[in-house]
Amino acid sequence: MKANAFKRNLVIGIMILLIGVFIIPSDALADFADGDFLNWYDTYIATPGDSAYMTRYDSGGNPDANVTSTTVYGPEHGVVFHLMVNNDAEWNPAIEGPIECVTFQIDTKSVSGWGSGQALEILVLQNGQYFIAPWSSSATGSSTEWHTMTLGGCQASDFFLVDITGGGDTTIHPDFSESGTSIKFGFFTGNSGYMGPYTQRYDNWHIGAFSRGDVNRDGVIDLGDVVYLITYLYKNGPAPDCLLAGDANCSGEVELGDVVYLITYLYKAGPPPSCK
Ligand SMILES: [Ca+2]
Ligand SMILES: [Ca+2]
Ligand SMILES: [Ca+2]
């Protein structure tokens, strides 16, 4: 009898564990990718006489469909920001959950014009305002071969409102928290130093957004995140791309308390990772 009860409890325990591992849904995850560029909107911010435009191609990409961005200087050479938004890449933090940070990846190659003063970076559109990550942190290089550019771990505070000055207002950021309105993602190129048309080709655009607790960013908060955190903290494992995602208890640092918090959430009906 005792042995049977033990077996039954063991089976129930394993079932609860499995339910916890496989069925607890994602807290939130925005993960957008596009290599066809069928549904994009583009505009630009520039000094008078300058312009920018996007051209879609159905061949010559990596593979096939791809786009170019061309920025053209007019008589008053200053700065051109070419802003390209994926209409399908929309995320509402108030409904779908807050974003802790964003990663970016894109394939690119130079067609003409790469020199100094060009940049390629993540773009965020919120409430009709465009926000970019600091363009000083990015570069596509001068390669005429397809190569991949990656950028990780951008928090809302890394983005700033862009305007015609080229610097924008670095004190104004998008809102990735629960109080934020809907966000659309894209990318931009900036050109401030090349005297002539600057054309760069792009393919395989990808934005990944981390939610708190989903340390390994696979879309679910589960035992894998606990293991990832323990490996990072105690076994010299890799740091999460977005360290904030590991700060499940919102203490400001990643430590044992976050492991305990995640286990409590997963297996003891504790509150979800959040800064509320
Ligand atoms: Ca493609
Ligand atoms: Ca995960
Ligand atoms: Ca913490």
- What is the rounded distance in angstroms from the CA atom of residue 239 to the CA atom of residue 229? 8
Q: Which ligand is nearest to the CA of 221?
A: 2
Task: Give the pLDDT confidence score for residue 143 in this predicted structure.
Answer: 82
Q: Which of 192, 210, 228 represents a domain boundary (last residue)?
A: 210
Q: How far is the CA of 63 from the centre of ligand 1 (A)?
A: 5
**Strand blocks (E) in the chain:** 30-34, 40-46, 51-61, 64-72, 80-91, 101-112, 118-126, 129-132, 147-154, 160-161, 183-191, 198-210
170/221 same-domain check = no
Per-residue pLDDT of the chain (276 residues; tens, 9 = 90+): 455 666 665 554 444 444 444 444 444 467 899 999 999 999 999 888 888 999 999 999 999 999 999 988 777 767 888 999 999 999 999 988 889 888 889 999 988 866 667 788 899 999 999 999 865 555 556 688 999 988 876 889 989 998 866 667 889 999 999 999 999 999 998 887 666 788 899 999 999 888 889 888 887 899 999 999 999 999 999 988 788 889 999 998 999 999 999 999 999 999 999 877
**pLDDT value at residue 32:** 93
CA of 120 to the centre of ligand 2 (A): 29
Question: What are the pLDDT digits (tens) for 75-114?
Answer: 776 788 899 999 999 999 998 888 988 888 999 998 886 6
Asked whether residue 117 falls in the same domain as residue 173, the answer is: yes
Q: Which ligand is nearest to the CA of 65?
A: 1
Are 203 and 62 contacting, i.e. CB atoms less than 8 angstroms apart?
A: yes
Q: How far is the CA of 81 from the centre of ligand 1 (A)?
A: 23
Are residues 117 and 229 located together in one domain of the fold? no
Q: 38 and 166: one domain?
A: yes
Q: 53 and 189 share a domain?
A: yes
Report the separation in Å between the CA atom of 224 and the middle of ligand 2, taken as the mean of its atom positions: 6
If asked whether residues 47 and 112 sit together in one domain, one would say yes
Nearest ligand to the CA of 224 is 2
Q: Which ligand is nearest to the CA of 252?
A: 3
State the pLDDT at residue 165: 67
Ligand whose nearest atom lies closest to the CA of 35: 1
Tell me the residues surrounding ligand 1 (ion) with CB < 5 Å. 35, 61, 65, 203
In a domain, 5, yes or no: no
Which ligand is nearest the CA of 28, by number? 2
Q: Which ligand is nearest to the CA of 29?
A: 2
Cis ω on the peptide bond leading into residue 63 (within 30° of 0)? yes
Q: Which residues contact residue 245 at a Cβ distance below 8 angstroms, ignoring those fewer than 6 apart?
A: 100, 101, 210, 211, 212, 213, 214, 215, 217
What's the pLDDT at 140? 59
Number of domains, the chain: 2
Ligand 3 mean position, distance from CA 138 (Å):
30
pLDDT score for 218: 81
Cα separation values, 85 from 38, 42, 53, 102, 188, Å = 11, 6, 13, 15, 8
Distance 210 CA to ligand 3 centre (A): 16
Shared-domain flag, residues 61 and 165: yes
Do residues 106 and 170 both lie within one domain?
yes
Task: Kindly identify the ligand whose nearest atom is closest to the C-alpha of 203.
Answer: 1
Based on the fold, state whether residues 147 and 223 are members of the same structural domain.
no
- For residue 66, the domain's CATH number is 2.60.120.260
Say whether both 243 and 202 belong to one domain.
no
- Report CA(264)–ligand 2 centroid distance (Å): 15
